[in-house]
């Protein structure tokens, strides 16, 4: 599922993480920024924590993956973080709800330290946002279908 979603903007795939956490996780391309196509010279970093749970179906039980936490980061061409959507309910931070970090200053406030509350953000909606608002060039012609974008939304 995530492989298909990510293929809209990168050929890189999620790789299972090593046992540095109590719960399983996967990250993109060795946990290094992956360059994205487009004039904005942005890169992407993704980390997704998950659980495998048993799910009851008509045929019996089957495993299903449940996202437990995430970090979706956009890195500028100069290597600094531009923004990051994060959710780490069991992390060491006081902020356990989904939130957004913005790189840089805004009206004298260091927004990289601020935790702007959000709802949960899916990988699909995050990548759709990058294509539509940050002019990242999609790699697939069917990206609208995969990422749930309306057919009449033009590609920037």
- Which residue is listed with tokens 């495993």? 63
What's the token pair of residue 25? 């996780």
Across the chain, mean pLDDT equals: 87
Phi/psi for 44 (5° steps) reads: -125, 140
- Cα radius of gyration (the chain): 17
pLDDT tens digits along 126-151: 999 999 999 999 999 999 999 998 87
State the Cα–Cα distance between residues 48 and 72, nearest whole angstrom: 8
How far apart CA 145 and CA 141 sit, in angstroms, is 9
Mean pLDDT over residues 80-88, rounded? 93
Q: What are phi and psi of 9, to 5 degrees?
A: -130, -15
Q: What is the pLDDT of residue 152?
A: 78
- pLDDT for res 54: 76
Q: Whole-angstrom Cα distance, residue 10 to residue 122?
A: 17
Closest by alpha carbon to 40, among 132, 146, 108, 125?
Answer: 132
For residue 20, what pLDDT band results from cuts at 50, 70 and 90?
A: low
For range 102-115, the mean pLDDT: 87
- Residue 47, classed as helix, strand or coil, is strand
pLDDT exceeds cutoff 70 at 108: yes
Closest to 43 in 3D by CA, of 86, 71, 70, 73: 73
Between the alpha carbon of residue 123 and those of residues 17, 51, 80, 129, 134, the distances in Å are: 18, 16, 21, 10, 15
d(CA 108, CA 112): 12
């Amino acid at each position: 599922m995530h492989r298909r979603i990510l293929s809209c903007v990168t050929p890189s795939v999620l790789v299972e993480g090593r046992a540095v956490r109590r719960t399983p996780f996967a990250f993109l391309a060795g946990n290094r920024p992956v360059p994205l196509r487009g004039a904005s010279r942005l890169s992407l970093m993704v980390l997704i924590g998950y659980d495998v749970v048993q799910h009851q179906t008509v045929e019996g039980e089957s495993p299903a993956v449940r996202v437990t936490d995430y970090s979706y980061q956009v890195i500028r061409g100069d290597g600094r973080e531009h923004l990051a959507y994060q959710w780490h309910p069991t992390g060491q931070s006081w902020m356990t709800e989904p939130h957004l970090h913005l790189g840089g200053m805004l009206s004298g406030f260091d927004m990289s330290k601020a935790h702007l509350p959000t709802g949960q953000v899916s990988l699909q909606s995050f990548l759709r946002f990058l294509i539509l608002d940050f002019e990242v060039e999609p790699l697939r012609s069917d990206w609208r279908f995969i990422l749930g974008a309306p057919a009449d939304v033009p590609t920037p």
